[in-house]
Each structure stands twice: as C-alpha cells, then as structure tokens.
Amino acid sequence: MAKNKFNKNWLHDHINDPYVKLAQKEGYRARAAYKLKEIDESEKLIKPGQIIVDLGCAPGSWSQYARNKLAGKAGGGINGVIIGLDMLPMEPIADVHFIQGDFREQEVLEQLEQVVGERKVDLVLSDMAPNLSGIAVTDAARVELIIDLAIDFAKAHMKPSGALLVKCFNGTGFAQLVEKFRQEFKTVTQKKPQASRDKSSEVFLLGKGLKNPA
C-alpha cells in the first residue's frame, strides 16, 4: 500500500513538474538538461570548438543541451565535437558520436580515440548514478566508485586546463568525495541547481584544472 502511494505521489509530482513540462515543450529527453543548463550558464563550461565527452549519456538530454550550445555553424552541424558513452543503448542525436559500451574497456576507448585522434578533451560530463539500495554505506561506496571512474577518465583524456562535472549525493561519504576532488583539481565548486528536486540529495561537483594530469 505504502509503495503504491509513493508511486502515485511521484507520478503526480512528475506530471506537474515545471521542468518536465519544459523538457517536453523544448524537445529534451529528460528534465536533467536544465540542471546542466543552470550550471553551464553560471560557470561558462560549454564553448564553441570544444571536445566534450558525456559519460553515462543515455537517454541523452545532456548531450542534447551541449549539442544545442555548439550549434549554429554555417551550413549546419556543430562547432565542436560531442561524444556520448553509455552501456545502455541511446536513440541517435544529430552531430553526437555515440559509443555503446563500458568506457573502461579497450575496445570502447579505441572507438573514442578514432573520434578525437591525438586531441585532448575540454570537458567531461557525468550524470551517472548507481542503483541506490537505501543502505547508506553501500550507496556511498557505489557513488564513490563511479566518481573514481570519472576522475580516472578525465586524468587520462582531458586537457590539463579542462573541467569535470559529476553528479553525487550529499550524505555519507560526500566530504571524502569533495576532498578527493580537491586533491585532483585546482578549483572545486559544489553546485545545486534549482532544477534538482527539493527532496533530492543530489549535488554536482565541478573540478577545473588538473593538478596531476596523466
């Protein structure tokens, strides 16, 4: 009974969510696009000519937003390169290179290198989140693993002056994640966009400038 009530409450909130309505109106696949939009507008992350990698990109709203920011090139197309990586399938997005697979695997990295060549990435985005169990210690470990993967990816593929934006959760283990970011990046900012639901503990960490590039 309680679960049904929770589902109904969630559905009611979702249907009446202004960002859900806006996403439907503007053609975004998820309301998450507006979280990136807010952070981008305050931090000026996405600029013409950049190479951007979107880790865990499905269903694709962050890649859609980045693509819209880089659009406007004469004759169509975008001024820059966007690569989306995910183990899940994703419907194609114009001008976005999608690679399905685990970015820890050599085959996937080789596909990435075919797109970027010798160039380094300007911006790494990660809206990835694990399946949460509700057990604080277990969930903290799962989140930390995903953050570690994103940091390792950034260190291997990003310009020293680049930026990494990741989703995490304010709770058990959060202080350690912030400290981890401070060890790796010259500047670290915590972002809680208005598009994040009030009840959600999600918070985004932005690291700029690698201290120890690979």
Among 124, 121, 143, smallest CA distance to 132 is for 143
Give 78's DSSP letter.
Answer: B
Phi and psi angles of residue 71, each rounded to the nearest 5 degrees, phi first: -75, 175
Q: Please check if 62 is assigned to a binding site.
A: yes
Catalytic residue of the set 35, 37, 69, 167: 167
- Is 127 labeled as ligand-binding? yes
The answer on whether 75 is annotated among ligand-binding residues is no
CB 29 within 8 A of CB 59: yes
Residue 185: DSSP 8-state: E
Residue with tokens 């390169």: 81
Both tokens of residue 110? 């080789």
Q: Is 10 annotated as a binding residue?
A: no
| Residue 155 a catalytic site member | no
Nearest to 178 by CA among 136, 133, 140: 140
Active site residues: 167
Binding site residue list for S-adenosyl-L-methionine: 60, 62, 86, 102, 127
